[in-house]
Amino acid sequence: MWFLNIIYYVVPFIVLLAILVFVHEFGHFIVARLLGVKVSAFSIGFGKELWGFDDKHGTHWKISAVPLGGYCQFLGDGDASSSTSGGLKDLSEEEKKHAFAFQSPYKKLMIALAGPGFNYLLAILIYFAFFAVLGKFTIPPVIGELMEGGAAAEAGLEKGDRILTINGQNIADFSDISKEVMMAADQKVFLTLKRGDDILEYHITLTELDDPKSDGQPKKRYMLGVRSVGSVEISHQRLSVLEALKASTLEVWDVTETTLRGVWQMITGKRSSEDVGGVIRIAEMTGDISKTHNLTDFVLFLALLSINLGLINLFPIPILDGGHVLICILEIMIGHEIKEKAKEYLFKAGFLVLLALMVFATSNDIVHLVRRLFNH
């Protein structure tokens, strides 16, 4: 059993994280090299080096023991966070021309934005490939979970039931369920569903439940009380190149907007901070997908995480790319470089903020995992 869990949870998680980290750091790497900045090291993972080699440009490529991230270290950097503490004093004048610390703020800005930009580019390419080659994907109207006390559970609906119609209207996507339920008169619905080879009919009176989309405010509304299975179906309705490009860009924008709205709701207290998750939660979700779904769902989950990784790295926290971006913009605005000592203090403060967020997210993950194990 433990061996299967390693296969289902650990291995897919490491593969997924390695892809995301490589794409992110390669964005920094390729833009830096194009702008004449030397990259000293490119690492997937942290800690002790397991394997590595040097390329003809002097970059040391390596895989390290702790597979929970990675970094792109530039000439003159004192550490993986691009801190210059102790890393510049021994550089020659010629080397300084290729060191990150001595570049213009415009070049630094482009290099800092390249990592998150490549994460967004990966997501767009994944969605584009789906839309142009395979077709549109939808969340099928299949019941994955019944909400406790909900009308569906009381009526005898079961996990795996596929809802075909509600009040005579065809249901093609899971989102269609809430649309038709909201239009139901007298809080009653007549639905048909498929269970195995059988077509069944139900007359259901809706019940009031807490609205999960009420922005954190206490609110009830009449609902059927079902959740989706979380997987997708391909409609094989292929889009043209331009249509696929537009649809993939809009999909990435929608995910970004939804994520930012959720973050703002947690900051303002309208949404529970229990939703903040870290690597344990990601590993758990990755394992669940690898066990119960298929490669399509895994790749789409990769696109979703790539967007989130790019977005999080744009947050204006020193030590993250967003912190570098903020510093570069400030230097452009004031017309001169911020003192190195001030940057060091900012990076240290950013590290403490990031560490606190990681501890908080990990504690949430542990509580969530314990609850899941206990409920099972």
User: What average pLDDT does the chain have?
Assistant: 84
pLDDT in tens, 152-167: 888 899 989 999 998 8
3-state secondary structure of 147: coil
Longest dimension (CA), the chain: 81
pLDDT at position 327 is 92
pLDDT at position 342 is 86
The amino acid present at 325, given as its one-letter code, is: V
Whether pLDDT at 121 is above 60 = yes
3-state secondary structure of 187: helix
- When pLDDT is averaged across residues 175-181 and rounded to a whole number, the result is 82
**Poorest-pLDDT segment among 281-285, 288-292, 299-303:** 288-292
3-state secondary structure of 336: coil
Whether pLDDT at 173 is above 70 = yes
Domain coordinates of the chain in residue numbers? 2-35+103-135+281-375, 140-229
pLDDT at position 234 is 73
Contacts of 149 (CB under 8 A, 6+ apart): 207, 209, 225
Whether pLDDT at 219 is above 60 = no
What CA–CA distance (Å, rounded) separates 126 from 258? 19
pLDDT at position 83 is 55
pLDDT in tens, 299-336: 888 999 999 999 999 999 888 999 999 999 999 999 88
> Which residues are 221's β-sheet partners?
209
Kindly tell me the sign of the dihedral angle through the C-alpha atoms of 303, 306, 310, 313: positive
pLDDT in tens, 193-217: 999 999 999 998 888 776 655 444 4
Q: How far is CA 144 from CA 70, 153, 158, 209, 226, in A?
A: 36, 12, 9, 18, 7
Which of 25, 95, 180, 274 is an active site residue? 25
Contacts of 319 (CB under 8 A, 6+ apart): 81, 347, 350, 351, 354
CATH number of 140-229: 3.40.1160.10, 1.10.357.10, 2.30.42.10, 3.40.50.1110? 2.30.42.10
Whether 25 is a known active-site residue: answer: yes
Residue 3: band (very low, low, confident or very high) from pLDDT cuts 50, 70, 90: low
3-state helix, strand, coil in the chain (%, to 5): 55, 20, 25
Could you count the other beta carbons within 10 Å of the beta carbon of residue 45? 21
- Distance between first and last Cα of the chain: 16
pLDDT in tens, 57-76: 999 999 999 988 899 999 87
Whether pLDDT at 136 is above 90 = no
pLDDT in tens, 333-365: 998 888 888 888 888 888 888 888 888 888 887
What CA–CA distance (Å, rounded) separates 46 from 2? 26
pLDDT at position 270 is 66
> What's this model's pTM, rounded to 2 decimal places?
0.78
pLDDT at position 272 is 67
Dump the DSSP string for 49-84: EEEEEE-TTS-EEEEEEEEEEEEEEETT-SSTT---
